[in-house]
Chains A and B, each alone.
Chain A
Amino acid sequence: MINDKNSQKIVDIIQNWSRKHSIWVLAYGTGCGAIEIPPTMTSRYDAERLGVRGAATPRQADVLLITGYLTTKTLKRVIRVYEQMQDPKYVIGFGSCTINGGMYYDSYNTIKVLDKYLPVDVYINGCMPRPESVLAGFGKLQELIGDGKANGADKYKENLDWYRANQKKIIPNWVMPEYNW
């Protein structure tokens, strides 16, 4: 049985290399920024040459792309979708509304900082970002995967109580299943 550190490293390198060249994005347009996704996926700024394509259901997707602001009603559905996705999974925050609330900083219905509710790996800023910025964001995610540093999913499992406390503070009617993987 080959189980020492060197062979584990070789397996890791091959695994990360193959994962970073095939990233499937969930088809969910949560906000404004969903208007720049069709140009990114079609003929001029072709994202499929990097291995990025759309996936229809959460069980088949790798990346959850939060395009823009999130209201509390959508946050409840996004959490449920995130917990249905299988490991390894990543989250990309798109636009300046996920960073600090953007121009809706005093609205009673949008959340201001995404980091407290879901673990984010890469932020892309802009309002809204150009397709070239989106491709640069995917490139940065590929770099992180190759180095083995994109571990938002592990952070979620370890600090689950802290994330749950933040989520339950703004969602009063909690009717979701238990997260057990």
Chain B
Amino acid sequence: MQQLKANLIEHIKTSFKDARVQDYPDENRLDFYVNKQCIPSILTYAKDRLGYIHLSHIAIVDWLEEGEFELIYIIWSPEEKIKMFVRTRLDRENPVIANIDMIWRQANTYEREFREMYGIQFQGLEAPEEFILEDWNGPPPMRRDFDTEAYANETFFHRPGREDALDVREEIIKRSREEIPEFAKKYSR
């Protein structure tokens, strides 16, 4: 396993010199931090030459405090059995990155969802505008600065509470002073 990981690091470092590597010794996982311009070429290289043919997931995290989005492409090789994470950062004010659905066809679905939910522009993506939400005219909803509870309170009705609303803890204390049968004594307060 360590030998396979060392070979992989060497292959990637010869072609992409400014990729940063992080190794996880106990698991079969290897992380590479690259710039966003290298993403199509490093993924094509890994798929055609190194045998990483299965795209497992594209994950996204919103780091609001640092002002960046992080995109993580997770690819898997059935022969070497190593998970490779290719990570890149996008600027939050103007997020633009290239489209990869000519490499793997399933990336089309991920990119449509990120375009709708986070507002990221993918250059060259051809797909209908609406995917999950219909007639939505607010900000992209999955961003961290969109407050979903305030929106729900404003748009929808809520059912009011009961008029004889009792306090749960006081009732439990009151009822635990009644006679408890023997088998239930270990469950009461």
| A interface, CB within 8 angstroms of B | 72-73, 99-101, 105-109, 111-113, 116, 166, 169-173
A72 touches B152 (CB 8 A): no
A112 touches B151 (CB 8 A): no
A113 touches B134 (CB 8 A): no
B contact residues around A109 at 8 Å (CB):
133
Q: How far is the CA of A92 from the CA of B167 in the complex (A)?
A: 31
Q: How far is the CA of A73 from the CA of B135 in the complex (A)?
A: 9
A113 touches B157 (CB 8 A): yes
B contact residues around A106 at 8 Å (CB):
148-149, 152
B contact residues around A169 at 8 Å (CB):
155
Contact with A along B127-140 (1 / 0, CB 8 A): 00000011101000
B contact residues around A108 at 8 Å (CB):
141, 148, 151-152, 155
A112 touches B134 (CB 8 A): no
A116 touches B152 (CB 8 A): no
B158 touches A113 (CB 8 A): yes
Indicate if B156 sits at the interface (CB-CB under 8 A).
Answer: yes
Q: How far is the CA of A166 from the CA of B155 in the complex (A)?
A: 10
Q: Which of B137, B148, B156 has the most CB atoms of chain A within a 10 A radius of its CB? A: B156
Q: Which of A106, A108, A109, A169 has the most CB atoms of chain B within a 10 A radius of its CB? A: A108
B148 touches A112 (CB 8 A): no
Smallest CB gap from B146: residue in A: A108
